[in-house]
Structure 1
Amino acid sequence: MGNTSSPFSSVPDMFASRVAESGDATAFTYPVPDTTGAPETWKTLTWSQTRDRVRDLALGLHSLGVTPQARCAIASSTRIEWILADLAILCAGGASTTVYPSSTAADAAYIVSDSGSMVVFAENAEQVAKLVDQRSRIPGVSQVVVFDGEGGQDGWVITLEELASRGARLHGEEPGLFDELVGSVRPDHIATLIYTSGSTGRAKGVRLDHANWIYEGEALQELDRELRGQGRELLGPDDVQYLWLPLSHVFGKLMQVNQLQIGFVTAVDGRVDKIVDNLSVVRPTFMAAAPRIFEKVYNRVVMQAREGGAAKYRVFTWAAGVGERVARLREDGREPSGALALQHKVADRLVFSKLRARFGDRLRFFISGSAPLAPEIGRFFYGAGIVILEGYGLTETSAGSFLNRPGRIRFGTVGMPMPGTEVKLAEDGEILLRGGGVMRGYHNLSGATEEVMDQDGWFATGDIGVLEDGRLRITDRKKELIKTANGKYVAPQHLESRFKALCPYVSNLVVHGDRRSYCVGLVALDPEAIAAWAGENGLGALDYTGLTREPRVRALVQKAVDELNADLPRHETVKKFAILPNDLTVEGGEITPSLKMRRRAVETKYQDLLDGMYEDGVRAR
């Protein structure tokens, strides 16, 4: 477990300790929609109430035959029931297998079957239908438990309440059984089986045991102790987390474990379209998110400033420029003074204070992970008084490996290693990690673990990076580096991240050029941002596809491409681009559920468009 130590033997042990310490304090808040049309209300659960609910569900699972390390799958969006089911599985001694609700029926069946899951929690009728459709492929599933909906299928499907009732009866008969089950879970027992959504190939099951999660919780505690020694604080029991991240993804799972360790309140609601509305209701002190969320907020702010007219937009661009200068000073550990300090106060009053108000009035910081954050966007928010702490980790490292520290932020880097995590670079620049967060191996894949882990425990991440003053800067994915026909290397992620900060009307840029004579780009427009621009520019009658063919839209993109190219070496410049007829989506297979681009899938889908941007029209080998 690296250089950290913990008093806990398992996640259930952490949970029991948190209940003992914080019993009557609020653990969770969550929305309850009103069927009468009235505004939805938010309910709360104390830690003791959470324990009682988890106990009934865990004993219900025990009555179904869930034994130590038996897998139980969860196919649901982020909601309070997901968390209760997950804790119940672990307290029963089992291991949680995560299934994205956006998975196809075939993909869900593959994960359930490959993991050997015997029970599946399904969110609603849609998720149940996938399982019913694939029932012949998942013969090991003895029970499906539905959150919203009715039981059926000759008893194969039961409701969450039915499961809880079973457990409550068993608790009445054997009052000490729950504590006995919790006490029997060991650090080396598998806790979580997460299938990497992967940008290429079939998903791999990553085995994370209780020791992995204990390490993550303790590393956070150790980091907080370090920061408090410097007069700063990361997280404490009085914080409020807004949790919308997919819990099927390792980043969301990490934030669950951190709550058990620290004891802060978590507001749970996975509806992405409700994030902005919920911020003013929940008033969180921190929130974790993928960069795409910050990009969308940034794009919306820029659009609204433009819609306000030339004068308002001039004020906004001036304020943004002042904010960037302040952000760069703060990155160097300094504060603005003199004229700049005065300008920043004016910019704050005119622009930045309104932006902070959107996030509630208690926000201390955001945590960004899962994909690269454009430094320009990070500095824009930092200058506005909104701190984004970018971090880094993989499913295989339990997510939390690096983090920028409050007061020691350097945009473009993912910060320093978490306590107990070691890092070194291979000869080709590949990032190698070792520590308590590193997985125990892949599931049912002979030889796959040995391909990425050596005998000394070093895990090869597949990412290329450099170390600067102890901070890690990731330059690209090893498999995604472009080598042009002239033998020059190009890191596409760096260019793509920068471009999205230059053009608020774009959701994605895909840079292509491997074994080609020059680089080209595929551009996907942001539907919301481009529709707003169209309405302001007399093109509101055009649909998305029509706008992709509009010369004025192409001119907008060309301007941003020219800005991107201005500071690049010749071999990295994007010589030509094509605007895609559709945005990239999870449903279309171009984006993973954790909002990462599937580069190869996009290139394959638009191969003819790419070929057409080269004079010879020849496909890359």
Structure 2
Amino acid sequence: MSDTQTQIENRPPTVASLLFERVAKTPDAEAYRYPVPSSTGQGPDDWKSLSWAQAADRVYAIAAGLVDLGVEPEERVALASATRVEWILSDLGVMCAGAATTTIYPQTNAEESAFILSDSESRVLIAEDAVQLAKARERRAELPQLRHVVVVDSAAAAPAEGDPEGWVLSLEDLEKRGRAYLEKHPEAVRERVGAITADQLATLIYTSGTTGRPKGVRLPHDNWSYMAKAIAATGLVREDDVQYLWLPLAHVFGKVLTSGQIEVGHVTAVDGRVDKIIENLPVVQPTYMAAVPRIFEKVYNGVANKARAGGPAKYKIFQWAAGVARDYAKATQDSFRRTGRAKAPLGLTAKHKVADVLVYSKLRAAFGGRLRAAVSGSVALAPEIGYFFSGAGIHILEGYGLTESSAASFVNPGEAYRTGTVGKPLPGCEVRIADDGEVLLRGPGIMQGYHKLPDKTAEVLEPDGWFHTGDIGELSPDGYLRITDRKKDLFKTSGGKYIAPTEIEGHFKALCPFVSNIVVLGADRNYCTALIALDEAALQGWAQEQGIGGLPYAELVATPQVQGMVQGYVDRLNAGLQRWQTIKKFRLLPRDLDVEHGELTPSLKLKRPVVEREYQHLIEEMYEGARES
């Protein structure tokens, strides 16, 4: 057995133990960076740091404060906050108290928040600000088990009329309470951590279901301890790395990155404000970051549209450089697969050097100039966009996992990455492909089951541990997995042809720099259609060039110019598809799809049933008079 495998099998029962080890090993090393508004209130944020010892001091104070509030092992403490350093410290505090974190997206409305708090039987809620506190207040009568709300923003922690005594306190107050408790019981946190067993509940993450109520996924302490060791064992993350973490920590993809960091010991810069990403990258200068494909699509579209705005010559150079990047990426990846060395033909290498000076170097600078690799997950990245970034020197390593598998089950292996695949399984993760093409997983990262839903658990989790992912995939002979579609998203036309919509959608995103979202339709119909939402900023720039600038988005997409422009891209898409896959008709949506209207999950996954219900009239319009066969 390899040392790596031994290390993963002999892991401690909890990440809390790994935190103790990390603090003992590198107490003074930098752990976290986080932004604070500048002292003048003007200009860019200041960034502050916490060492591992300073972070642990706050974590143990939070843990002891929760113990002092009466929180018992495995009792739930909910966290409703955007991504910020206090989210991580609070989550680790909950873990060190032996309790379990229930994650709630800050965008979740009061009704669904109350459902999650009630279903999880959370005793304490750690709320980011007045907005999150107000949701709990609004539904307090339905939540008799919720004993306290701890507010991160101290200014918002004032009690209101009708609040029970002591119901609201600030995170600062909780930490003070914890320190006072530790003075009397100095070993309290170590005793709680020492009593944690591997199968004890650590986290309840509620999946954003496309229909019905979300399901609580039960993830024990061992899931995170395994993930921490398995991520370290891949060798993709190093102790001298700087990670930029902006992903929602209520989502399993963001959460797993906090476990891997503790094991490896690198720096993490934490700021969940998506509108600050472009501003933060040159400041943070990350060596690696994780993102969802939508971010890379936006960057790609932004670069393409900036080049277009620079005039025909500049746009022609960009298009040439984009083609060179893709050819170079395909050549070097193919060479590495065959020989173990990434080489391209001399002529292509010469073109690549010129394109690097003209285009790629500026793109890398926009990412901070030090980005060694970016990990992409949650949904599939269009391969042509992946090849573009790869050829430009921004290596996007696609990975794969689900909430039910603690996020990371597959990831592309460093230099040997292959665009269009999600890489190889993490150490300790088993995979097999079922007869119908479904990907099945087994290993230490798989959930215990759905909270209080044994029937739902039995539908996906076999007695021998195999988990049914619901995704369709293919394994290469040397173990690389390619996800082709969600099992439930695959549809059959009335002509009997199977269609994988996400594959077609990905092709279109790579072709059209103006697209934001696209939904391909055609189940039980005799041809395929699409609903398309455009990126408003990119579209307005194009509209100015065409002399139709200044119109509101909804009016703009109705113009013959925009309809004709999109038709051109649809024609290019269709030219590369099989006849039965081609998009015969499309409709441009009057606004983009978003989380607020429930069409996207907080991790930006498409909720197809919601979109189809919302725009049923447009869908019917596209099939009016069609002869079904």
In the TM superposition, what is the alpha-carbon distance from 1:619 to its structure 2 partner? 11
Contact 1:6 1:218 (C-alpha < 8 Å) held by counterparts? no
Q: Which residue in 1 is equivalent to 2:339? A: none
Alignment of structure 1 residues 78-477 onto 2, 5 Å: 78-148=83-153, 149-152=156-159, 153=163, 154-224=165-235, 234-332=236-334, 333=336, 334-469=342-477, 470-477=479-486
Given candidates 39, 42, 57, the residue that maps to 1:38 is: 42
How large is the Cα RMSD of the aligned pairs? Answer: 1.5
CA–CA distance in structure 2, aligned partners of residues 340 and 380 of structure 1: 14
Quick one: distance in 2 between partners of 1:422 and 1:2? Answer: 13
Q: Distance between the aligned counterparts of 2:110 and 2:626, measured in 1?
A: 38
Judge which range, 126-135 or 177-186, deviates more: 177-186
- Please state how far the C-alpha of 1:487 moved relative to its aligned partner: 1.3
Q: Distance in 2 between matches of 1:445 and 1:616?
A: 45
1:553 aligns with 2:562: yes
Offset of residue 221 of structure 1: 2.4
Deviation at 1:36, TM superposition (A): 3.3
User: Is contact 1:591–1:597 with CA below 8 Å preserved after alignment?
Assistant: yes
Amino acid at match of 1:289: A
Deviation, 1:275, is: 0.4
Deviations 1:572-591 (A, max 9, x none): 11110000111000001100
Return closer, same or farther for 1:488/1:619 CA change in 2, 3 Å cut-off: closer
Query: Secondary structure in 2 aligned to 1:407?
Result: helix
Is the Cα–Cα contact under 8 Å of residues 519 and 573 in structure 1 kept in the other structure? yes
Aligned partner of 1:574: which letter? I
CA contact (8 A) 1:5 1:218 kept: no
User: Distance in 2 between the 1:30 and 1:386 partners?
Assistant: 25
Please, what TM-score do these two structures have when normalized by structure 1? 0.96
Whether contact under 8 Å (1:611, 1:617) holds in the other structure is no
Distance in 2 (alpha carbons) for counterparts of 1:324 and 1:472 = 21
- CA–CA distance in structure 2, aligned partners of residues 518 and 365 of structure 1: 40
The CA distance in 1 between the partners of 2:211 and 2:416, in whole Å, is 35
- Establish whether residue 530 from structure 1 lines up as the match of residue 532 from structure 2: no
Query: For the residues of structure 2 that align with 1:2 and 1:361, how far apart are their CA atoms?
Result: 35
Whichever residue aligns with residue 72 of structure 1, its letter is V
Q: 5+ residue gaps in structure 2?
A: 337-341
Q: Please say if residues 101 and 204 of structure 2, whose CA atoms lie closer than 8 Å, have aligned partners that are also in contact.
A: yes
In 1, the alpha carbon distance for the partners of 2:22 and 2:37 equals 29
* Aligned counterparts of 2:521 and 2:212: Cα–Cα separation in 1: 19
- Measured against aligned partners, the alpha-carbon deviations of 1:184-240 in whole angstroms (never above 9, x if no partner) come to 11111111100001233321000000111111111122222xxxxxxxxx1111100
Deviations 1:327-353 (A, max 9, x none): 001211131242211111111011110
Q: Would the aligned equivalents of 1:433 and 1:459 in 2 still touch at CA under 8 Å?
A: yes
TM-score when normalising by structure 2: 0.95
Residue identity matched to 2:414: P
Partners of 1:29 and 1:45 within 8 A in 2: yes
Structure 1 residue 618, shift from structure 2 partner = 10
8 A contact 1:6–1:214 mirrored in 2? no
Match of residue 230 from structure 1: none
SS of equivalent to 2:548 = coil
Aligned to 1:502: 511
Q: Which amino acid aligns with 1:483?
A: K
Work out whether residues 526 and 627 of structure 2, in 8 Å CA contact, stay in contact via their aligned partners in 1. Answer: no
Write the distance in 2 (CA, Å) between the matches of 1:59 and 1:258: 24
**Pairing partner for 1:594 from 571, 584, 603:** 603
Tell me how far 1:155 sits from its aligned partner.
Answer: 2.7
Contact 1:327-1:379 within 8 A present in 2 as well: yes
What is the rounded CA distance, in whole Å, between the counterparts of 2:576 and 2:5 in structure 1? Answer: 42
1:28 matched residue in structure 2: 32
In structure 1, distance between residues paired with 2:448 and 2:110: 28
Q: Is the 8 A contact 2:540 2:550 kept in 1?
A: no
Contact 2:66/2:97 (8 A) holds in 1: yes
- Alpha-carbon distance in 1 for matches of 2:83, 2:19: 19
Alpha-carbon displacement from aligned partner over 1:284-316 (angstroms, at most 9, x marks no partner): 000000000000000000000101111111111
Structure 1 unaligned regions, length at least 5? 225-233
Q: Percent identity?
A: 54
In 2, Cα distance between equivalents of 1:21 and 1:7: 17
Q: Which amino acid aligns with 1:592?
A: T
Q: Is the 8 A contact 2:330 2:387 kept in 1?
A: yes
Cα shift at 1:617: 7.0
**Could you say what secondary structure the match of 2:595 adopts?**
coil
- Aligned partner of 1:155: which letter? G
* Contact map agreement 1:371 1:596 (CA 8 A) in 2: yes
**Is the 1:241–1:267 Cα contact (8 Å) retained in structure 2?**
yes
